[in-house]
Structure 1
Amino acid sequence: MHRDKRLLHASSFGAAAVAYAEHRPDYAQAAARWALRPAPGLRVLDLGAGTGKLTGTLVSLGAEVIAVEPDRAMLTELRRSLPAVRALSGSAESIPLPDASVDAVLAGNAMHWFDLAVAGPEIARVLSPGGILAGLWNVMDDRTEWVAGLAQVSGSAAIGPRDTPASWRAETADMHLPRTGATARFGAPAQAEFPHGQQRTADSLVETIATRAGILVMPEREQEATLARIRAFLASRPETAHGGFTLPLLTSVLRVRRL
């Protein structure tokens, strides 16, 4: 994605911060445990923390969490929902923490927005030696037939390049920090996927999809048409047309260790 387009998408979430907090899923605890397991401690930075979806999962695991988020509206929602968490304004490219101050840096559905050429050395700076950097993404499990149909109907703007398992694996295969040369900071990456799910209705699933960057930056008429097409599909499927259902997800993890 071109830098200007990436910045436009990355900065779109604040306008939907309340809906994001209400409708986006949390993360599978097993995925967060796997991400943290090799870390020497439990001082964790949630970077690009948004409204605190991953922060809450980390707190539930007993981690000492610091959340850093650049968007004021998203940060307000995080502080409202998790008032006991230390939540700071900052970004992956400018982290407001001292050198070697955390044992792990995790990012939930956020690492693809980072300028890794700048953020990589900055993340390495705040990590203790041997610490962990991990990105976690909730992706829709399109091995389920109706989910595959939803992905097709929604279009690439609504269901992006990291939103299904196969596309996530392809997009993140090289999404790691330099391992050779003068800028080397991290070791070889590892990937893992963990079953997850979110209780939804057709209406709340539409609201969830409406918080995606590709939808948020659409012209209003195109946005309305896309969401109407998704509503019609969900109304046509026996799995989703009547009452509540589970949206099958995977929490997918990309993990590297600081050298």
Structure 2
Amino acid sequence: MSADRATSFGAQAENYEAGRPEYPFEAVAWMLDAMPHGSRRIADVGAGTGKLTRVLAQAPGAEVVAVDPDETMLATLRRSVQGVPTFRGSAERLPLPDASLDAVVLGQAWHWVEPVAASAEIGRVVRTDGVLGLIWNIRDERVEWVHRLTEIMHSSPAENLVNGPEGPRIEAPFADAETQTWEWTRPMTRTQLHQMALSRSYLIAASPEERAEIASAMDALFDEVGLGDGTIDLPYVTHAFRAVRR
């Protein structure tokens, strides 16, 4: 995958924060349930603006750090999730000591990493019996108009990976990956819908003319299926995966 697309999100940090959905607490709790009892040292890798970080911080006794390669994204995170230490780094190169964590989690990020190198590096910083957790919020394209929305915006690497036949690739020293899904709906205004689209890597890299065409088609779809209160109910499926370090 394009390294430029993987590191392009800082240019749209504010739209990412406003337009992307939060993670269901129960899905995040499920990932962490596999940790050894009482352990709560967690790194959010590819943390972005802190969408997942703020949910992790709600876990009782959690000690959370955030890692991302983009300083602009981390600056937004520090404003929205105060008190969480932040570090520049990536899943393949973590600025953290050996066996210092009970869990590493990635939200909307594993599709940007090299899975063999990332699994090995995360295995270095996670202690034996610690957890690697992966989570994605994916629009429910079983709904006809949502499928049309994706055709307008173009599919993303995340959607292609999670909806594909094999799912995310997790390598040694992690084993026995488990998965669960949660279905829910997010009310969104027209502005939020556009902010969500603008935060996607395809639109960040698109020309101004193509972005304008996509925005116009999204407006037409919103007018067709939007609710009378000026919102649209966008259905999501949250996909979570967890694997234990052996």
Check whether TM > 0.5. Answer: yes
CA–CA distance in structure 2, aligned partners of residues 25 and 83 of structure 1: 19
Alpha-carbon distance between aligned partners in 2 of 1:49 and 1:224, rounded to the nearest angstrom: 29
Partner SS, residue 128 of structure 2: strand
1:116, distance to aligned residue in structure 2 (A): 2.1
2:175, 2:244 within 8 Å by CA — same for their partners in 1? yes
Counterpart pick for 1:207 among 186, 195, 206: 195
SS at match of 1:60: coil
Deviation, 1:219, is 1.5
- Aligned match of 1:36 in 32, 37, 40? 32
Q: Distance in 1 between matches of 2:102 and 2:19?
A: 30
1:175 corresponds in structure 2 to 169
Displacement of 1:13 in angstroms is 0.3
Looking at structure 2, the residues matched to 218 and 241 of structure 1 have their Cα atoms a distance apart, in angstroms, of: 32
**Letter of the 2:232 counterpart:** F
- Per the alignment, residue 26 of structure 1 pairs with 22
CA RMSD of aligned residues (A): 1.8
State the Cα deviation string for residues 73-104 of structure 1 (Å, max 9, x = none).
Answer: 00000011112111111111211111111111
Given candidates 217, 224, 231, the residue that maps to 2:205 is: 217
Q: How many residues align?
A: 243
- Given that 1:97 and 1:126 are in contact with CA atoms closer than 8 Å, whether structure 2 keeps it comes out as yes
Output the CA distance in 1 between the equivalents of 2:219 and 2:165. Answer: 28
Partners of 1:144 and 1:232 lie apart in 2 by 17
The aligned amino acid for 1:42 is: R
Task: Please say if residues 202 and 235 of structure 1, whose CA atoms lie closer than 8 Å, have aligned partners that are also in contact.
Answer: no
Equivalent residues in 2 for 1:143-158 (5 A)? 143-152=142-151, 154-156=152-154
8 Å CA contact 1:27–1:196 kept in 2: the answer is no
| 3-state DSSP of counterpart to 2:182 | strand
Q: Secondary structure at the match of 2:52?
A: helix
- Unmatched segments (≥5 aa) in structure 2: none
Identify the range of structure 1 (219-228 vs 67-76) with the bigger mean alpha-carbon deviation: 219-228
The equivalent of 1:181 in structure 2 is none
Match of 2:48 in 1: 50
Alignment of 1:77-226 (within 5 A): 77-152=76-151, 154-156=152-154, 159-163=155-159, 168-170=162-164, 173-177=167-171, 184-226=172-214
| Counterpart AA for 1:85 | V
* Cα shift at 1:214: 1.0
Residue type of the alignment partner of 2:42? V
Distance change (3 Å), C-alpha of 1:171 and 1:254: farther
Give unmatched runs, 5+ long, in structure 1.
Answer: 178-183
Amino acid at match of 1:39: M
TM-score by length of 2: 0.92
Paired with 1:244 and 1:226, the residues of 2 have a C-alpha distance of 19
Q: CA deviation at 1:121?
A: 1.3
SS in 2 for 1:200: strand
| Counterparts in 2 of 1:204 and 1:174: CA distance versus 1, 3 Å | closer
The answer to which of 132-141 and 198-207 deviates more is 198-207
Cα distance in structure 2, aligned partners of 1:51 and 1:172:
29
Deviation at 1:29, TM superposition (A): 0.7
Q: Does 1:252 align with 2:246?
A: no
Residue identity (%): 35
Q: Say yes or no: does 1:232 pair with 2:220.
A: yes
How far apart are residue 57 of structure 1 and its match?
0.9
Q: Secondary structure at the match of 1:96?
A: coil
